[in-house]
Amino acid sequence: MSPPSSRSAGPPVPREGETVIYTDGSCLGNPGPGGWAWAVVGGGYASGADPLSTNQRMEITAVLRALEASSGPVLIMSDSTYVVNCFRDRWYEGWKRRGWRNAAGKPVANRDLWEPLLALALDPGRSVRFGWVKGHSGDAMNDRVDLLATEAAARQKGEAAELFRG
């Protein structure tokens, strides 16, 4: 997978007071049984499952659940260019302007997830930033959420804890 379209010198550096949360989605078949996960660097984590989903839906769900479970300033780290580019390149502005249609004039996929995610991520009272991490590249936290999401998809059961087991 190629990096997000907005180029930068590297991954964003966490700001003081900012919680760094890694997210990932997984799907066994596309569509098929799905799983999502998030984990806070040095903190808690959660995962969940959906019996019939797509990888993109699980990627969005992971970020949505992470933001629902957190407060204060957040840096979301994701290997999903779909999610990261939506925020970095402000795709959502065009979607809203076109009545939730994409550039090709088709309905935006996963609108039912994008709308609540946008409400949380764009809340003017909270700082939420997005950074991209290459999947399956040896990043320990990305590998952890990948494993959690894949396990949730396979077992069709999520888990949560205050401190990551690993």
Return the active site residues. 24-25, 59, 79, 136, 146
Q: How far apart are CA 147 and CA 37, in angstroms?
A: 9
Q: How far apart are CA 149 and CA 83, in angstroms?
A: 16
Helices 55-69 and 81-88: crossing angle, nearest 10°? 60
Q: Is 96 helix (H, G, I), strand (E, B) or coil?
A: helix
Report residue 74: phi and psi, to 5°.
-135, 140
The percent of the chain in helix, strand and coil, each rounded to the nearest 5, is 35, 25, 40
Q: Which two tokens stand for residue 3?
A: 């990096």
